Structure 1
Amino acid sequence: MLLVSLTLIFFAASITSLLDYVYLRSNYPAISESIRSLVSQTVVISLVLIIANVINVDWALLSVAIYAIIFKFIDDRYIIPNQKTDKNKKKPTIKDPYLEIAQDLCWFLIILIIIRSFLIQPYRVPSGSLEPTVDTGDFIMVNQFAYGLKIPILHYELFSIGKPQRGDIALFYYPKDPKKIYVKRIIGLPGDHVVYQNKRLMINGKVMPREDLGWYNNVNQFGVPENVKLFKEDLIGKQHNILLKPFTPDYGQTNIIVPKGQYFVLGDNRDNSNDSRFWGTVPESSFIGKAFLVWLSWDANEWRVRWNRIGTML
């Protein structure tokens, strides 16, 4: 992935050079250097961020940060000193607001990268495995600081802030393929005896009580309505809603003692979730953070924003 990052930086520099060449060959010399600089950086950074949606986002964002820092260094060292000075020529002055905007854009990106890498991470939920709590198309905010401060990309923990807790909706790297990111609810802690049988959850020999809330009109990923049962489950003091298909066989039966340093996770949509019942537990080192807010929600079936979902606390 280091090669990917270097390639992106080279790509950004190449696009900048191309824009410079086009500007010099154009018939519009009246365009100020500052406007050209602002346009160039906006185009380059936008292209790199678009690529971030295709490849590993951490490496793409790191590339943008490095590129922004390099541009800021060159700007301060070579461009600004060559700007027009005042009459006494004692120090350079910046009178064009566009150049200041271009500089501010770089600092904004640097701050954005720091926040994105260490504190808050946005994530778009691609499936309905956590319905009815989290809907398909929800954009959630994840507190990366909740479980400790980690170095981006390397995922090395500098120091621990707290441990994953039962009931947390957590973002983590899929143990079978760390390139994939999953979001599930933490059910079992290290040392817990977890049994899931006949669609009932037991932890350390105790059946988790649940309240039948009736039928729930659910729409699957293909837009087909499904009638499923809605329950309120009490997860040792933490209540949340779950969905069950009463007439679907229980394919996810499990009986496990959660190993040390591992966690057992489930989706709230129990009959429509690929979770620890099928591929095992999640190492503590794989957790990214705790989801806490829905900041946007998009219904792809009806092609509209779910305004009532915005601001939902998780």
Structure 2
Amino acid sequence: MNVMALFMLTGSVAAVTNNNATCLYVHVHVAKNGGRTVYYHLADLVSSNRVRGPTCFFGLLQPVCCGSGTEPQKKFAKQYVCGQCRFASAEWRFADVASMGLAGPKSRLLTLVRSPVGRTVSGVQQALHSGENFSFKTMKEWAANVGKEKTSWQDVGYGYGDQQTSWLLGSKVNFTNIVPKFDANYWFVGVVERMWHSLCALDYMLGAFERAKCHCGAPGAPATSASKSGRRSLAYAHGVQTVNDVFDTETLKVIQSSIHLDEILFAHAVTRLSQLLLQIEAHNPGLQLVKCY
């Protein structure tokens, strides 16, 4: 399954309070199919006794078109028709957190992500075996420790130059100016897999975004601008309601199989995340991530 790894962090950590309670803000980067199940598992995990202050799970605060149905086909249809262009801007809420002060000046923001980038896996492995475990405070420092100084997250953790990742994140999503606002108070834990979100993988396999251009990350921008070539793109642009209008039977089987695999991977990811959080706590006396209050 290749579910592994830890992306960072820290030295000493002072107590962080909000309404007299340690406040851990969590952004969960999850696949939209089956996402709510994972969300509740993580909510129980990182906030097992309920923090006496706001704990936000970014990525599921905003209404989304996908993941709300009970059938995989319906989930995929909702995602594909009306959610795909929005999930970069709806899910990546870092800018809002930083600019609005939602996390507070000293609160920690924990992010669970999934990266399909093989070099990220090797980079993390190198860092973890370098004798400097749990010593990284920023993504720049992490990059420097594995021998590649970077100026933004794109090249460090997300493989932004990859064509598929560009489809996922959107060309206008820029993390460079956000990182310094969090600095050492930003906690970044990565559950790394050699796999895409199942829906992203399908988009890549089907070449959907080659024909349905998407303006992600731009508030008020039109959802799509289809090229009028290809049945899938035209259907996507004109608001199809079921995947049966778009895909043949064999493709639907691939969709369902991918969704099932994603759910299995996430079950492993949640288990691994629990282990990583406890491991971070063990190396940072006084820090609480699993029971954060």
Structure having the larger proportion of residues in strand: 1
Structure 1 or 2, whichever has the larger Rg, is 1
So what's the TM-score if we normalise by structure 1? Answer: 0.21
Q: Which has the higher contact order (CA 8 A, sep 6+)?
A: 2
So what's the TM-score if we normalise by structure 2? Answer: 0.23
Structure having the larger proportion of residues in helix: 2
